[in-house]
Amino acid sequence: MNEPATKHRIPEFIVGAVLLLLAIVAYIGRRADWFPPIVLGTAASVVVIILIAASLAWILIRTIQGHQAERRIVYLYIGIAVTLPLFMSLTQKISISPEVQTLYNGLAALPPGSKVLATFDYDPPSAPELQPMAETFFRYAFHNDLKVIVIGLWPQGPQQANLALNKILAEDEFKQMNLRYGVDYVNLGFQSGNEFVIQRMGSSIRSMFPADIYGTPYDSLPLVRNVRNFSNIDYSFNLSAGYPGTKEWVLVAVDRYGLNLGAGNTAVQVTEMYPYVRSGQIIGILGGMNGAAEFEKITDQIDKGTRFMLSQSFAHMVVIAFIFIGNVAYFTIERKGKR
Amino acid sequence: MRREIPLLITGIVGIVFIVQYFIPHYPFGRMSDWFSDWFSIVASCAILLGALNLMKMSVLKVISRKGDWIYALITIACFALITVIGLAEGRDFRDTGTGFSWLYDYVYSPLSSTMFAILAFFVASASYRAFRARNFEATLLLLAAFFVMLGRVPVGDVLTGFLPESMQMSHLATWIMNIPNTAGQRAIMIGIALGLVSTSVRIILGIERSYLGGE
């Protein structure tokens, strides 16, 4: 599709600089309490939604008239769809999917004191989807006295686990619980070797993680001292954004050693995992931000996942609207042009 | 011998891993553990090698002033900065409050998240320009995308709230993911697995040698 040339175009770097400046002012302003938090009430939110819908209808009419929207219009709408809902106070009904219910049932069946292996196979780009799952998981585990052993097959995984742990442990509720490192939870860090690490853990976890992330010897950590291999692990929760990830845990740890595995995946990866969920090799799965929101709802811990779902709803609606407008353009302009 | 020794190592390791899957006892279980340990050691060395290679390429680019050399200079500066800070802080470099942790939390994480977030804009733009109902298959794909995109967000159920529960968007999306998606994924997985088996056998037997370079 050829985009119409605009006569008076504002240089991109000026637009970028203005937006950056606005973001910096907004950030500093909030930190310094220059202005109260901006929250749009229900009525204001509805007005904003109607305005956005009306402008999309206008773009549709212009498209039918033969004026196609250029791609920076799409970018603008996606930007609005993602950011504006963060200021809205609207709530949405989150329904629980069978996969999330199954995962929750698997966790709920664990008696207090069970040892859970939490594997963090992702890095910061996937954190918006997976970090809320990690935080909810830790909250649930500590509430229910599950003992958490963290490892990572991605170098940044254990660091992401520490970010989630630091956040959770700073909350009043968990401060009062006096959770002890090495007794209630432990971070064994990263090990290179992808699925070979999983394979080796099947016979000896100590051989792959001789010390924790801080260099404390494995045998000095009360939580893992008697954990020899997967037979001493009651449940495993894997957060994955690619390779190595959930698939490798299924192929090696589940099929070979019979590990009970629940998983949380990014939205783009979760489709590949459905065959394993259907066959029962994965006991439930959380898919993307929606999975995180469902997990928060089912464990009754509303947080980031739920709040960000409004942005995702808006973004999906805008993308669908533009796909529809694109198809209108195809049938009214491009096909006519071909004839 | 430069070819024969790697072929021999590959063959022995491949056969041991296959045998130990069915006979996980001595000596195959022990050999498999050795090879797994060695793989971790080699993989760790590969990380170092990769970092050094990145530095070598970046330095050469800066020296020769090839196109976009300024980015190579930034790469070297960032690499040096995080390495020096990490090494200076010793074993506890990941702890909260350290320079390394600060760089990770406030520089690396936001920058890499931003790079990934930009994808949303490109996906939206690409969908707008290329997702067309040109033929039957494309229309089918478009409809599936429509149902899954709406069904995976709460607004889908809000829009179809007047319908019976089993016909609401989230149920339709779940059905698409569980039935047609799973069937397609299984077909792809079986195809890939068969391809992997045949390629692995060729590599173990030394017929496929392209991984050694050349041929």
- What's the pTM? 0.90
Cα–Cα distances in Å, from B131 out to A151, A227, B121, B146, B173? 40, 52, 15, 11, 19
Whether the predicted pLDDT of B2 surpasses 80: no
Q: Specify the higher pLDDT residue, A334 or B183.
A: B183
CA gap A147, A167 in Å, rounded: 18
Q: Which residues of B touch A323 (CB under 8 A)?
A: 127-128, 131, 142, 145-146
B170 touches chain A (CB under 8 A): yes
Joined together, the tokens standing for residue A175 give: 């401060």
Cross-chain CB nearest to B113 (options A124, A191, A208): A124
Nearest to A286 by CA among A311, A264, A315: A264
Instruction: Compare all CA atoms of chain A with the CA of B147 and give the residue at the minimum distance.
Output: A320
Cross-chain CB nearest to A322 (options B44, B127, B170): B127
CB A63 within 8 A of CB A332: yes
Instruction: Compare all CA atoms of chain A with the CA of B35 and give the residue at the minimum distance.
Output: A196
Spacing of C-alpha A105 from chain mean position: 21
Cross-chain CB nearest to A272 (options B44, B117, B185): B185
B178 touches chain A (CB under 8 A): yes
Instruction: Compare all CA atoms of chain B with the CA of A308 and give the residue at the minimum distance.
Output: B153
Cβ of A267 within 8 Å of Cβ of B128? The answer is no
Query: How many interchain CB pairs under 8 A, A with B?
Result: 157
For the stretch B134-169, pLDDT in tens is 899 999 999 999 999 999 999 999 899 899 988 899
Nearest to B31 by CA among B19, B43, B40: B19
Cβ of A330 within 8 Å of Cβ of B133? The answer is yes
Cα–Cα distances in Å, from A200 out to A195, A196, A207, B38, B179? 9, 6, 8, 11, 35
Nearest to A197 by CA among A140, A154, A235: A154
Q: Specify the higher pLDDT residue, A91 or A221.
A: A221
Q: Which residues of B touch A80 (CB under 8 A)?
A: none
Whether the predicted pLDDT of A194 surpasses 60: yes
Q: Indicate the pLDDT class of residue A1, thresholds 50, 70 and 90.
A: very low
Cβ of A213 within 8 Å of Cβ of B39? The answer is no
Q: Indicate the pLDDT class of residue B82, thresholds 50, 70 and 90.
A: very high
Cβ of A323 within 8 Å of Cβ of B142? The answer is yes
Joined together, the tokens standing for residue B68 give: 């976009």
For the stretch A197-215, pLDDT in tens is 999 999 999 999 999 998 9
B44 touches chain A (CB under 8 A): yes
B96: left (phi over 0), alpha (psi -120 to 50) or beta: beta
B48 touches chain A (CB under 8 A): no
Quote the ipTM score.
0.88
Instruction: Compare all CA atoms of chain A with the CA of B181 and give the residue at the minimum distance.
Output: A271
Looking at the DSSP bridge assignments, the partners of residue A40 are A88
Joined together, the tokens standing for residue B69 give: 């050399």
> Which helix (H) or strand (E) covers residue B33, if one does?
helix B28-64
Whether the predicted pLDDT of A164 surpasses 90: yes
Joined together, the tokens standing for residue A56 give: 């999309």
**Helices B109-130, A127-143: inter-axial angle, 10-degree rounding:** 120
CA atoms lying within 13 Å on the CB side of residue A195: 16
Cross-chain CB nearest to A74 (options B124, B131, B189): B124
